[in-house]
Structure 1
Amino acid sequence: MNSTETKTSSNAHNVNTFLYWKDKNLISDKTYRELSIAAKLPSLKQLQDRSKDLNSLFTIKPLTNKQGVYEPLQHKLVRILTHNFSNLNNCDLTIKLTGDGTRIGKRLHIITAGFVLINNHFKSPDYVLSMAKGQESYTTIRDITFDIINSTHSLKKLTVGVKDYSLKYVLCADLKFLNLIMGLGGFKSDYCCLWCFAPTKEFRLFDKQFKKRTVEEISRLSENKKSHFNCLHKPIFPFIAVKDVIPDPLHMFLRISDQLIRQLIKLLREKDKIEKKTKNIVKSNCKSIMQFEIFVQNLGYDWHFYTCPETALMKYPDFQGPQHEKIQKHINLIDFLGDHPKFELINSLWKRFPQLIADLKHISEEHEILKFKADSKQWLEDWRRAYPSKDITVYMHVMCSHGGDAIRRHGSLSKFSQQGFEKLNDTFN
């Protein structure tokens, strides 16, 4: 590269850098113009021209039924396959459609929908398809995805230049979002599993075979006001079969970890003789509770039990993904429950759980799937021996009863993890 090319490349980099900096910090044109003159930065016109060039790459449209915007999937795919994956030859592509809701401040709720490209050899980054204002509900998600559905349900093949791609669609998100997309109600229902008709009170019966759900049956039952088995609406993506709705291994890890910690804190409260409804607890009198609080703080987190102002009951902040991972890695249960009669059983549950999640993400061979199903079944049986059966959650049921089937159909689930989309959603919001 000669000196002229080097200078041009450097100038382009500076323009991109300062455009990003100006937009991120909400700097007005007037202010930037004065700064650019005083500090010899790229001119305002250079930034405006670059902004126009970047905007021309995108086809952003307002949503038809909601306050928000979207980009047609076909336009986005053509741009990505042309500019980002030009070396990808003719092949079958799986498009993982996903979404998530978040709250910005106290009152502003945002829902983001996106996708990932997947095949046997690669997984793309997460891309955003639409963003809109609204809370997580069936109606909001239906309105936000209306334009996406219209542009995807008939898009089975795509030609980009001289290359042809076959497209297959799957859904993956946290279970709450998936239930809403598929027309089901919440987890408090007697039939909250998306994949089968298992009654919630029978999640403990992991040897029993329950009838599998289908899109057609969900649609039919949603019209029956009496015996609808938690089917409240027609599925939003009717062209995606239930067997192509994939449980997310990240949320499986997070929500089951929540339950392990919840049971641990429950036992620590019992050691300190604190009833569930005891009010205005003095923490200095709670040796076991304080021991766990110090343990978490020693991991580097500003975390503590607190008294809820409204109820005067003891509460604690929810743990996030990195916190769960650190707790799983560093906790030594003998320090907390060494004298408990079920210590060995509880300790075994904690020790085996990370391996189950690792298997869920990485195995693909049939003999590995059979072993995973046997191991997860034994784990759930041991949970029943350690804790009340009523505390078996839908995430545990899905891991043990449907995780193996998802791997058998789609291969290892690591490529479907929501971790990238969660980070992307945090960045945008």
Structure 2
Amino acid sequence: MDGAIVYLFFFFFVVCVFTSSENKSYDEMTDGEREQIEKTLFVLDQFCGSDVLYHELIQIAPASCSLPKLHTVKECRSHLNATIGKDIEKVPGPHAGAQRNLLHAITAQLGDMDDIPPKVRVRVSCDGARMSRKSNFVIVTYSLLDIEQYSSPKGNHVIAVVNGPESYATLETSLKDVWFQVSKLAADKKVVVKGKEVAVETILGGDLKFLGLVLGLSAATAHHACCWCKVHKDHRWNVDFPSNKYTDPPLARSMGELQTQNPVVPSAAEAGPPKRGNKFGQKAKPLVNLPLEQVVIDELHLMLRITDVLTDNLLQQTMWLDKQAKSKTLAGPHTEMLVTAISACGVSFSVWEKTNADGSGSGRLDFTSLMGPDKKILLQNLPEKLEGSGALNADTENDVLLMWTTFNDIYANLGKEEFTDGEITQLEEKMKTWIKRFCELGFTAPGFGKKRVTPYIHAMLFHCPDIIRRFGNLKQFTGNGVEKTNDEARRSHMQKSNKWDACADVLLHSGRRQILSHHCREKRKYKKKDEEYWTANIKESRRKRKRISR
């Protein structure tokens, strides 16, 4: 009997020793211990660190370093996933996908605030993002413009992910619940948070491909491709019309016309020759129901697509000069000088001949698809590198380079936070002058001309000023945050998902980061002592660095 008592005493002693704070479960821990675990989980999710990596770090960490145990981090993750997963469900339709309720997400986010604002502006965006060679995700996000950092992933929250092509059929079937919620939010103009009504202004933003799809319009190559007016593509360049010509009826579109598919017919001089049953580019009913005044263009893609046109024009001109010089190769000396000038800006760039389906040469050049930061570098530095380089025709070189420098000034002005009425008028005049030169150069320089005025160029002049007058600036509708959120989704898909339920994994990963975002470390401020080094010398030193693989 005495031996049994001693055995039981020893057993309880061992249990007490091994149930110290280090071995407690997540539910048994104090608030301070949970906070440390949440910080650890946030860092792992922020940088897509794996559990194996964290386990190895614990093993090599010194004894004085009290890192949370891996099992507690996993328990914390499971706890958050269970909370987030209550609001996640499968999307309808044939494609794999997952979604959250937009209204619930906004209400919950506002409810977590200490001071609930009386009014918020909600921007809903959608974009396609390639995840791998075989998978392409369509990602829907929302952001609270007046409260969050709209140009950062922290201010853009994923509410739906669909594994399918970015097409009207996908948006219509798989995301119909999301569009119903967007339309309801726009119609109600409010949400109720803890018994308090909060006024809501709903804004739909994105690139022209997404906006055209969700409005049921044809592609950018159609005769009537503008989302806001019915202008024919042959008249997109016309700056002789007054500014309100494209924003007022009968040339302007309206949501009522799109819903009934019975547009008001403008004159032939504005919308092209009359055509029986002309729907002015409308192929289907719009997926959302909100005023077109609340549909805005993405400022980032505006710059990207117009810069693509200017870059392609440079290539067309150098190819034409090489042809005149009877070069034996498609990318002759003038094209090589252009590539050298672009590389001198610190941008990796190359050209190659496109091939036909049978593998033969097409006689056309393609070039490296550049990212946003690289294109901004070219806008600022390429004209100086090309001036006097001999890559362009001496007769039109100054005019062509002026198109680059002027557009760089226009884009910088479009990115301003505040405008006066006079500044908007000055910006309009500068853009009109730019488009006039663009059209006039069509007679002397390849790639320019009236037929090369794209929907983005048309929207920049005739619709962006109207958006600025209505909302104060265009910068708040930038797609930087959306694109960075796509990058985060890609990292999550490749590094934090076993691909069994990939779309839901992206939503869970995004939801955890949103809940734990208050644990984000405030970065220390760094003052650059040598500005010239960071703006110019660093690029030169990188360019001169020896490459082992070449």
TM tier, smaller: 0.7 to 0.9
| Aligned 8 A contact 2:149 2:155 in 1 | no
Q: Relative to 1, partners in 2 of residues 1:406 and 1:133: Cα closer, same or farther, differing over 3 Å?
A: same
Deviation at 1:160, TM superposition (A): 2.3
Of 298-307 and 394-403, the range deviating more from structure 2: 298-307
Structure 2 match to 1:72: 101
Structure 2 match to 1:138: 168
Of 164-173 and 266-275, the range deviating more from structure 2: 266-275
For 1:19 and 1:423, the matched residues in 2 are separated by 15
Deviation at 1:9, TM superposition (A): 4.8
Deviation at 1:389, TM superposition (A): 1.3
Structure 2 match to 1:168: 201
Structure 1 match to 2:407: 353
| Aligned 8 A contact 2:380 2:408 in 1 | no
Deviation at 1:268, TM superposition (A): 1.2
User: Within 5 Å, which residues of 2 pair with 1:166-315?
Assistant: 166-208=199-241, 209-210=245-246, 211-221=251-261, 226-238=277-289, 240-273=290-323, 281=329, 283=331, 286-309=332-355, 310-312=359-361, 313=363, 314-315=365-366
Structure 2 match to 1:45: 71
Structure 2 match to 1:129: 159
**DSSP 3-state at the match of 1:344:** helix
> Over aligned residue pairs, what C-alpha RMSD do you find?
3.1
**DSSP 3-state at the match of 2:143:** strand
Q: Relative to 1, partners in 2 of residues 1:279 and 1:236: Cα closer, same or farther, differing over 3 Å?
A: farther
For 1:220 and 1:308, the matched residues in 2 are separated by 43
**DSSP 3-state at the match of 1:154:** helix
Alignment match of 1:62 (pick from 90, 105, 108)? 90
Q: Relative to 1, partners in 2 of residues 1:34 and 1:415: Cα closer, same or farther, differing over 3 Å?
A: closer
**DSSP 3-state at the match of 2:184:** coil
Structure 2 match to 1:343: 397
Residue 406 (1) aligns with residue 467 (2): yes
User: Within 5 Å, which residues of 2 pair with 1:362-401?
Assistant: 362=416, 363-387=418-442, 388-401=449-462
For 1:163 and 1:273, the matched residues in 2 are separated by 70
Structure 1 match to 2:272: none
Of 51-60 and 215-224, the range deviating more from structure 2: 215-224
Deviation at 1:139, TM superposition (A): 1.2
Q: Relative to 1, partners in 2 of residues 1:280 and 1:69: Cα closer, same or farther, differing over 3 Å?
A: farther
Structure 1 match to 2:381: 330
Q: Relative to 1, partners in 2 of residues 1:106 and 1:290: Cα closer, same or farther, differing over 3 Å?
A: same
Alignment match of 1:81 (pick from 83, 87, 110)? 110
Q: Relative to 1, partners in 2 of residues 1:222 and 1:373: Cα closer, same or farther, differing over 3 Å?
A: same
Which deviations, in whole Å up to 9, do the C-alpha atoms of 1:333-375 show, x marking residues without a partner? 3134665222332222111112212222324322222212111
Identity of paired residues, percent?
A: 22
**DSSP 3-state at the match of 1:101:** strand
2:489 aligned partner, one-letter code: F
Alignment match of 1:109 (pick from 124, 132, 136)? 136
Residue 149 (1) aligns with residue 149 (2): no
**DSSP 3-state at the match of 1:148:** helix
| Aligned 8 A contact 1:16 1:50 in 2 | no
For 1:108 and 1:121, the matched residues in 2 are separated by 30
Structure 1 match to 2:516: none
The TM-score with structure 1 as length reference comes to 0.87
| Aligned 8 A contact 2:318 2:335 in 1 | yes
For 1:243 and 1:258, the matched residues in 2 are separated by 27
Deviation at 1:87, TM superposition (A): 4.4
The count of corresponding residues between Structure 1 and Structure 2 is 415
For 1:311 and 1:402, the matched residues in 2 are separated by 43
Deviation at 1:207, TM superposition (A): 2.3
Q: Relative to 1, partners in 2 of residues 1:408 and 1:336: Cα closer, same or farther, differing over 3 Å?
A: farther
For 1:189 and 1:414, the matched residues in 2 are separated by 28
Which deviations, in whole Å up to 9, do the C-alpha atoms of 1:66-95 show, x marking residues without a partner? 421111112211332233xx2444322111
For 1:80 and 1:322, the matched residues in 2 are separated by 32
The TM-score with structure 2 as length reference comes to 0.69
| Aligned 8 A contact 1:19 1:51 in 2 | no
**DSSP 3-state at the match of 1:69:** strand
Deviation at 1:262, TM superposition (A): 1.0
Of 316-325 and 150-159, the range deviating more from structure 2: 150-159
**DSSP 3-state at the match of 2:72:** helix
Compare relative contact order (CA 8 Å, sep 6+) and give the higher one, 1 or 2: 2
Q: Relative to 1, partners in 2 of residues 1:49 and 1:138: Cα closer, same or farther, differing over 3 Å?
A: same
Deviation at 1:54, TM superposition (A): 1.6
Which deviations, in whole Å up to 9, do the C-alpha atoms of 1:203-243 show, x marking residues without a partner? 121223341001121233379993211101111111x1112
Deviation at 1:60, TM superposition (A): 1.5
For 2:483 and 2:60, the matched residues in 1 are separated by 40
1:183 aligned partner, one-letter code: G
Q: Relative to 1, partners in 2 of residues 1:376 and 1:78: Cα closer, same or farther, differing over 3 Å?
A: same
Of 57-66 and 322-331, the range deviating more from structure 2: 57-66
Which deviations, in whole Å up to 9, do the C-alpha atoms of 1:5-36 show, x marking residues without a partner? 97775455345545777x75475xxx988996
Q: Which consecutive residues of structure 2, in runs of 5 or more, have no partner in the other structure?
A: 1-29, 264-274, 443-448, 491-550
| Aligned 8 A contact 1:280 1:307 in 2 | no
For 1:405 and 1:16, the matched residues in 2 are separated by 41
**DSSP 3-state at the match of 1:100:** strand
Which deviations, in whole Å up to 9, do the C-alpha atoms of 1:309-339 show, x marking residues without a partner? 4342332222221111111111123134665
Structure 1 match to 2:481: 420
User: Within 5 Å, which residues of 2 pair with 1:81-100?
Assistant: 81-83=110-112, 86-100=113-127
Structure 1 match to 2:192: 159
| Aligned 8 A contact 1:219 1:233 in 2 | no
| Aligned 8 A contact 2:110 2:116 in 1 | no
**DSSP 3-state at the match of 2:230:** coil
Q: Relative to 1, partners in 2 of residues 1:48 and 1:352: Cα closer, same or farther, differing over 3 Å?
A: same
For 2:34 and 2:148, the matched residues in 1 are separated by 36
For 2:124 and 2:31, the matched residues in 1 are separated by 41
For 1:245 and 1:184, the matched residues in 2 are separated by 14
For 1:230 and 1:366, the matched residues in 2 are separated by 33
